Chains A and B, each alone.
Chain A
Amino acid sequence: MKFWFFSFLWLFLLSACSEEQKLTPIDNKDNICRYSKWLRIAEFPTYTQIDILNPSTNELLQTIKIGDGGIIPGATLATFSSTHIGMLAELNSLEKVVAVQDIQYVYNEILRNSFNAGRITSFGNEGSPDAERIVKSGAKVIIHSAYAGPFPNEKKLNEIGITCISNFDWSETHPLGKAEWLLLFGYLTGKKDLAKEKFKAIETAYLATFKNSTKGNERIISGNVYGDFWDTPAGESYHAQLIADAGGSYVYAQTKGIGSLSLALEKVVKDAENATIWLNPGFSTKESLIRANPKAKFIKAFTTGKIYCYTHDANKFWEMNAVQPHLILEDYRRIFTQQDLENLYFYREVL
């Protein structure tokens, strides 16, 4: 008899607790994010709720609670993308990072030093990091890019109290939407006010540059040949948005899609006949460019135009581009007007 009574009591309490855990999806009016498509944040008196949507289905993928029984702000973090590092650097919260994906590609000085001092785990090239190693690293929260679905062993990790957060900043099409993920990091590190402040500054700078830019003058071509095909951003992508906002007239601005286009080199040569600026060929010197792609010389911009790229310091770009879109925009504005070219932030002319 006693047995049955206590079982029922226990079950009742359990269900009551889980009922408490169930959160309703964030309503539009409570969402403080203004540009991001996949991130929603709502502040409540005792906790903050973060909803993450799945870009492929547009449905709610994950709900995270920070505070009041959920994630404790200031938890130790494992980051699986360069952009995450950039954002944490902006918030001066790199000491929370205990694990990174591949130290070889990390630009940030502080993290590198920490790694050398043995305080950070690097997962190198592991396609599927071992759950044990993750636990050993001491990370309480894992932030990953979810290119291929859930994090390996996600369920197991959840059971031992490690939360996996899918960060879809790479799937945002608006540069400010991408930068807005800074807020997520703000809440995770307990520095939400700093994050909001920083984002406001980024937004302001971005919009100011946007206002300043003269529209539609320079014809821009972007990308390079990879094997038989030329890869270049499609018209509705994040890159295309940046170019347009900076006042450039992108050759493929009218195309559909948010990803990349694969085109025949011949077609690109023809389409780029009047392009005066070539962005992001993937090489930092003309010599290495032409060596890898001898027919690049037929692109008018190679001989009579200007070429700019960030690969002379690629890691810096990959880390900081998401959180500093205003700086990319400013670089582009200067490149397109060919003024103030001495102190470009990310880009350098390819000579």
Chain B
Amino acid sequence: MSVTKQIGWLIIGLLALFGAACLHVLSGETAVSLGVMKDAIFQYDPSVMDHVLFREFRLSRTLTAILAGSSLALSGMLMQTLFNNPLAGPYILGINSGASLFVGLLLMSGISIGGAQLGIVGAALVGAFVSCIFMIGLSGYLRNQISLLLAGMMFGSFTSAIVSILQQLSGAEALKAFTMWSMGTLQQVSFEELYIFAGTVSVGILLAFSMGKYLNVLVLGEKPARLLGVNIVRTRIIILIAVAILAGVTTAFCGPIAFVGMAVPNLTRLVFKTQQHHLLIGMNLIIGALFVLICDALILNWAPVLPIPLNAFTSLIGAPFVLLILMRRVR
């Protein structure tokens, strides 16, 4: 696809994204007038309850949805190309499990990690990075993809086991706090925290973008890529770091969110029918954000009648979709 065409798609995507964001910000049980919205954005007054509500509960949630959706979709794409597997997702190497483990330790064990200041977000980030470093270390020893995948799954099982034990031993309050986090939600991010969230995601995106041409070659498989001159170990490490940043920060702020990372990259590839990763990166970011925005807007609108948790909804849509892909492939 020519560069002009790519830019064309990007613009259409961004417009759609803006539209979806507006729809999302106006969704919810209580109606928000456009006047209030305008004032809250341009003439924010912290003493006006409506402004505070709009900024902290609407705007914040919309921006979180965009950041979470785009970073998960992108990290899923990276994993799928790295492992040449359309069923890979950002969580298969246990980044999520590592984050869960540290949040679990923070909330449910007696151990204080970094004191009270650390908070859930901090704990999850530390956990994600510890898993990432562990995986990178392993990837130096494990030559092929399958071994690395299995190692990731074993790591995930191991940390899940520890978390289960913690859950058994913990008091009711701590257990409740942990369960609340692990259900996944877009509404816990405060407006000030959004800057950190957005900044970190940007770093991940830049990193991914810089690996664009390597990703293009990786679709051929690791061996052919090596023969074409790619330093596989170095490439793997950088991509894993990008995934850890993107998926880690999202899990830290929103808890685990299912299926976005696995389903969206497949959808994007299906729609645009290309393996050119620079375009795929851009479109995954946009479609990922759209996916989460739309799912969440629906949840918000149906909430009075039928409250559905975010993870349940993304799984509801994502799982059949992945099944469809599987069936197409087997042919």
Contact = CB atoms under 8 A, between A and B. Distances in A.
Interface of A: 225-229, 262-267, 269-270, 273, 282-284, 287-288, 291-295, 298, 311, 314
Interface string B103-135: 000010000000010011000000000000000
B187 A265 contact: yes
Contacts of A283: 173, 176-177
21 contacts: A227-B184, A227-B309, A227-B310, A228-B299, A229-B309, A264-B28, A266-B28, A266-B58, A267-B30, A269-B53, A283-B173, A283-B177, A291-B177, A294-B188, A294-B190, A295-B56, A298-B53, A298-B56, A298-B57, A311-B173, A314-B172
B35 interface: no
B53 A227 contact: no
B116 A287 contact: yes
Nearest to A125: B168
Q: Residue among B179, B180, B310 with the most chain A CB within 10 A?
A: B180
Contacts of A228: 183, 185-187, 299, 303, 307, 309-310
Contacts of B53: 266, 269-270, 298
Interface string B214-229: 0000000000000000
A229 B28 CA distance: 12
Overall SS of chain B's interface: helix
Contact of A288 (B177, B300, B303): B177
Given A283-B177, A311-B173, A291 B119 contact: yes
Interface in B158-178: 172-174, 176-177
B14 interface: no
Overall SS of chain A's interface: helix
A282 B188 CA distance: 17
A295 B187 contact: yes
B181 interface: yes
Contact of A292 (B180, B307, B310): B180
Given A270-B30, A283-B173, A288-B177, 15 more contacts: A226-B179, A226-B180, A228-B299, A228-B310, A229-B309, A267-B30, A269-B57, A283-B176, A287-B116, A292-B180, A293-B180, A294-B188, A295-B56, A295-B57, A295-B188
B59 to A, nearest CB: 12
Nearest to A264: B29
Given A227-B180, A298-B56, A270 B49 contact: yes
B52 interface: yes
Contacts of A284: 173
Contacts of A266: 28-30, 53, 57-58
Q: Pick the 3 closest A-B CB pairs, nearest first.
A: A292-B177, A227-B183, A266-B57
A349 B116 CA distance: 21
Contacts of B184: 227
Contacts of B116: 287
B300 A264 contact: yes
Contacts of A288: 173-174, 177
Contacts of A265: 57, 187
Contacts of B107: 291-292
Interface in B35-67: 49, 52-53, 56-58
Q: Residue among B29, B52, B173, B179 with the most chain A CB within 10 A?
A: B173
B303 A264 contact: yes
B180 A225 contact: yes
Contact of A282 (B29, B176, B190, B300): B176
Q: Residue among B52, B56, B186, B309 with the most chain A CB within 10 A?
A: B56
A262 B307 CA distance: 7
A273 B309 contact: no
Interface string B174-214: 10110111011111101000000000000000000000000
A292 B57 contact: no
Contacts of A287: 116
A161 to B, nearest CB: 35
Nearest to A312: B173
Nearest to B306: A262
Nearest to A297: B190
Contacts of A229: 303, 307, 309
A295 B185 CA distance: 12
Given A228-B185, A283-B173, A273 B303 contact: no
Contacts of A263: 29
Nearest to A284: B173
A298 B57 CA distance: 10
Contacts of B30: 266-267, 270
A193 B176 CA distance: 41
Contacts of A298: 52-53, 56-57
Contacts of A270: 30, 49, 53
Interface in B55-87: 56-58
Contacts of A295: 56-57, 187-188, 190
A229 B57 CA distance: 13
Nearest to A287: B116
Contacts of B310: 227-228
B45 to A, nearest CB: 15
A311 B57 contact: no
Contacts of B188: 293-295
Contacts of A273: 49
A38 B299 CA distance: 37
A266 B29 CA distance: 8
Interface in B1-33: 28-30
Contacts of B120: 291-292
Given A266-B30, A283-B173, A227 B185 contact: yes
Interface string B278-314: 0000000000000000000001100100010110000
B26 to A, nearest CB: 13
A227 B184 CA distance: 7
B65 to A, nearest CB: 12
A224 to B, nearest CB: 9
